[in-house]
Chains A and B, each alone.
Chain A
């Protein structure tokens, strides 16, 4: 198949994946929340409530797209797209399996960070455009939180790039070939603080995607719905699809950098079609295990105070990630043969 058609096919697949995934993650979230809180969650629509997301989607789409008085109409409508579109762009470089990737570019890691950074702009414009006090407070909180957590995240990423020597995501996964102790999270011989780096990266990706306990952008008990307060119908829906797509990207990046991506924990290699399925299986298993952890955390920990969030980033995560950077550099310099 010629390359452009392959890429277009993949992008269509990725868009379908992002949409369906968002819908069914909402179901997982509600079901998970239900079970964690000793309820059953959605159960009426379809078996185990499996058709609930479709019903929700139809409800959101049939709602009137109402423009509240005083909003900036252009910014108000563009903001949800600015959260959703970059997320879909980032999906294009994520290797679901060795050959199951839309475009394998050498600076894939940079591409994901470049597009992920637009997310905040969307939230900010949406909150300012809705001309609502709560939304503006949420926007201000959101940006100070994202700026704070982007620093340790990028420092940890730099550490990983130093270790891997490449920003090609597929190449990073290939370097973790073999038994599961070759995954970077277990490679204490490269950096003694590797598990800590994993933890820092995961916490930062939670904060970057505005998930509880870092969901300062929404904070429904204090700010009604924060940035989303004024959004009706599908405007709100698109924001949420963007949020779930961002969660998937954060977890996929954690999987690729630390948990060996599509590598299986035991060195069993299949060729051809079976090999693709095998890689896909392990990638999705790791990805959804991480996503489940994200949901689990949301329904286990309460939202903390805003100042404590900023303190955690500036006083704990940044010093630790800087120390990890120096330690890794030293270890690579002293033991270059590892």
Chain B
């Protein structure tokens, strides 16, 4: 047992706090009726995740989580909500009888899979990854080991751009500019 008033004690307190924030954010994201609050929950959850990454000695991934998920993805979702202008208090329909047990079973399968994966992966110890997040390391990783992923992401982005262009063009020709 680590004494509370020491560096380790404080650090575990903060760790527990971050875990609580992450779980709380996830619960808000899935259980709130108003969409905008769900997005806020998602933002909180992602901030908590960034904190967890920081505790796993990966500050680079933590900051990228903030930059991309909180700063870009959540903002985009909020923007989409603003444009769509949903009715504030629409009753969310209850799913069928099977929804609960089915999602529970799927959750268990997912948890089992991920935890087996985590248990079997040969993790690199923090001391061996001191230079992670340095520019050279990230650049080398992106252009060697993960170049396939990197290129696939660019294809996804290309498709997204083409899709939005198609949608925008349709809107212009059909309604003549104003909608």
By a CB distance below 8 angstroms, the chain A residues around B71 are 114, 116-118, 120-121
Provided the pairs A107-B59, A120-B75, A140-B83 are in contact, do residues A113 and B135 lie with their beta carbons within 8 angstroms?
no
Bound: A137/B11 CA distance, A: 43
Residues of the A chain whose Cβ atoms lie less than 8 Å from the Cβ of B78: 121, 124-125, 128, 143
Interface residues on A, range: 20 to 34
Is A117 touching B79 in the complex (CB atoms < 8 A)?
A: no
Sorting the interface of chain B by its residue count into under 10, 10 to 19, 20 to 34 or 35 or more gives 20 to 34
Q: How far is the CA of A66 from the CA of B31 in the complex (A)?
A: 28
Is B162 located at the chain interface by the 8 A CB criterion? no
Contacts of A125 in B (CB 8 A): 36, 40, 78
Q: Which A residues, 57 to 110, have Cβ-Cβ distances below 8 Å to chain B?
A: 72, 74-75, 78, 105-107, 110
Which residues of B, 97-132, contact A by the 8 Å Cβ criterion? Answer: none
Given known contacts A78-B40, A113-B67, A106 and B133 CB-to-CB distance under 8 angstroms:
yes
Would you call B64 an interface residue if the criterion is a C-beta within 8 Å of the partner chain's C-beta atoms? yes
B167 at the interface (CB under 8 A from A): no
B24 interface residue, CB < 8 Å from A? no
Q: Could you jot down 14 A-B contacts, CB within 8 Å?
A: A4-B10, A72-B34, A74-B37, A75-B36, A78-B40, A106-B134, A107-B60, A117-B67, A117-B75, A118-B70, A121-B70, A121-B74, A143-B79, A165-B135
Q: Residues of A at under 8 Å CB distance from B?
A: 4, 72, 74-75, 78, 105-107, 110-111, 113-118, 120-121, 124-125, 128-129, 136, 139-140, 143-144, 146-147, 161, 165-167
| Contacts A4-B10, A110-B63, A114-B67 supplied; 9 other A-B pairs, CB < 8 Å | A72-B37, A75-B37, A106-B133, A114-B66, A117-B70, A120-B71, A120-B75, A124-B79, A143-B79
